[in-house]
Structure 1
Amino acid sequence: MKTSSFYPVVATPVIAESRDFYVRNFGFSIVFEADWYVSLKNPSGYELALLDPAHPTIPAGYRTPARGLLLNFEVDDVDAEWRRLVVEGGLRPELEIRSEEFGQRHFIVAAPEGVLIDVITQIPPGEEFAGNFSTANL
C-alpha cells in the first residue's frame, strides 16, 4: 500500500476547546474547519484532526469520544517545553517530568477531550534497555 498521508482523528465533543489547545500549545494551524470537524497542521507538516463523535460519518456503535489515546510529541528540549507548557503556561501535568531507563525524558499533560499528550526527548537508554533497540530503523 502506498500511503500519501496518515494522521489521527480524535473524536471529541469539545471541538473548539480541543482546537484552541492544539493551536495555542503545539503550534498547529487550522486547515479546514466546520462545527463538527477541524483539520490541523503544524509547521513540521504533522496533521491532527478533531471530529464530533456524534457525527453520522462515524458508524453507529462507534460514536464515542476518544479514550485511552496517547499522542507523543518528540521535541529537541523537553525541559524547555516543560517550562513553557507547565511552569509558564499553566497546564497541569498528569505525569511530572522525569527520565526513564528505556530512553526517554518526558512529561504528560491532558488535552481538553482527555487525550494524553506525552512530550518526549530521546535520551540514552540504560543498560537494561539498550539491546532492545533495532539498529535497522535508527
Structure 2
Amino acid sequence: MSVTSFYPVITSQDVAAAASFYRETLGFEVTYESDWYVSMRLGAFELAILSHQHETIPPGHRALPKGVILNLEVDDVDAVHDRLTGEAGLEPVLTLRDEDFGQRHFIVLAPDDVLLDVIQPIPPSAEYADAYTQG
C-alpha cells in the first residue's frame, strides 16, 4: 500500500465558521472550499471540515463530533497560550500546566465541541520516562 495522505475530517454544523476558526486562529490555508466541505493545510498537515448532514456520510452516521481532541504540538506553548487567550479571546477549558508524562499544554474549545489541545513536549518524570520508545 502506498499512502499519499492521511488526515482528519471533522463534521460540522457550520462549515464556514469552523473553517474560519482554523484559518484565523491557527493559520491554516484553504486548498478547497465549498459550502459543504473545506480542505485546509498548515505546512505538511491537513484538516478538512465536512457538513455533518452531507449525503456522502452514510445515514446513521451524520452526527457532530463527540469526544474529538485535536493535538497541536508547538515549540513554544506559552506564546501560543498568550496569543489564543489574549488577542484571539479564547477561554481555556484546561488551563496551562505541566504534566508528569511529558507535556506542557492547555486546551481550548474549537467549533462543534472539538477540543484543541496545544502541547509542547517537556521531559517526563522518572515515573513516565521508560514508557517512551527510543528514536
Q: Identify the residue that residue 109 of structure 2 maps to in structure 1.
A: 110
Aligned residues with identical type, % of pairs: 49
Q: Which runs of 5+ in 2 are unaligned?
A: none
Say what the alpha-carbon RMSD is for the aligned residues: 0.8
Q: Identify the residue that residue 100 of structure 1 maps to in structure 2.
A: 99
- Distance in 1 separating the partners of 2:100 and 2:8: 28
Structure 1 position 61, deviation (Å): 0.6
Matched, 1:14 2:9: no
- Distance in 2 separating the partners of 1:98 and 1:88: 20
- Distance in 1 separating the partners of 2:30 and 2:131: 38
Aligned length: 135
Which aligned segments of 4 or more residues in structure 1 are displaced greater than 4 angstroms?
none
Q: Identify the residue that residue 49 of structure 1 maps to in structure 2.
A: 48
Question: Equivalent residue of 1:120, what SS?
Answer: strand
Matched, 1:37 2:37: yes
1:66-106 CA-to-partner distances (Å, cap 9, x unmatched) read: 11100000000000000010123210101000000000000
- After TM superposition, the score normalised by the length of structure 1 is 0.95
Q: Which runs of 5+ in 1 are unaligned?
A: none
- Distance in 2 separating the partners of 1:108 and 1:52: 24
Q: Identify the residue that residue 129 of structure 1 maps to in structure 2.
A: 128
Hey, which of these two has a bigger chunk of strand by percent?
A: 2
